[in-house]
Amino acid sequence: MANPFNNFLAKYPFLKFLGNRYVIVLVFFSIWMIFLDNTSYLLHRDLDKQIDELETNKKYYQEEIKKDNKNIKKLQNLDHVEQYAREKYYMKRDSEDIYIIEYEKDELRKKDSIAKLQ
């Protein structure tokens, strides 16, 4: 009775290395480490993506903190506080009238941005 594995190797002699136990163990170990283990390559790839995303977020927030610190330093002066309130929140004194002028280009941009969102 012939061994089916030997018959298969007789047909395809270049696959003879598959019969080696070290190759079998190496293939099993490689598959285990790449796909199945807790420290698998796929898990590490996902974690690296998350780390990159968090680092970009960190840079963004550090820049925002610098901008906010500059604004805080500016707002220590009362003249800058008044200017900021007038520009951002359209505040006015009791004896003043404020006129907000909107240009047609601004309205078209607003309509385009609203249309893109829908």
Contact 88, 75 (CB under 8 A): no
Confidence at residue 67, expressed as pLDDT on a 0 to 100 scale: 95
Output b/e per residue, 55-70; b: 16+ Cβ within 10 A: eeeeeeeeeeeeeeee
Token pair 């009775």: residue:
1
Q: Give the containing element (helix H, strand E) for 63.
A: helix 41-74
Same domain for 33 and 43? no
The answer, as to whether pTM is greater than 0.85, is no
**Would you place residue 83 in the very low, low, confident or very high pLDDT band (cuts 50, 70, 90)?**
confident
Mean pLDDT of 49-70: 96
Average pLDDT of span 22-43 = 83
Into how many domains does the chain fold? Answer: 2
> What is the identity of the amino acid at 72?
I
Q: For residue 12, is pLDDT > 70?
A: yes
Q: Is 44 found in the same domain as 30?
A: no
12-16, 69-73, 95-99: lowest mean pLDDT where?
12-16
Whether 51 is in a domain gets the answer yes
Q: How many whole angstroms separate alpha carbon 8 and alpha carbon 12?
A: 6
Range of the domain at 46: 38-94
What share of the chain in percent tops pLDDT 70?
84
Clarify whether residues 29 and 67 are in a common domain: no
Same domain, 7 and 44: no
Q: What is the mean pLDDT of residues 53-62?
A: 97
Cα dihedral 99, 110, 85, 70, rounded to 10, equals -140
In a domain, 102, yes or no: no
Do 52 and 83 fall into the same domain? Answer: yes
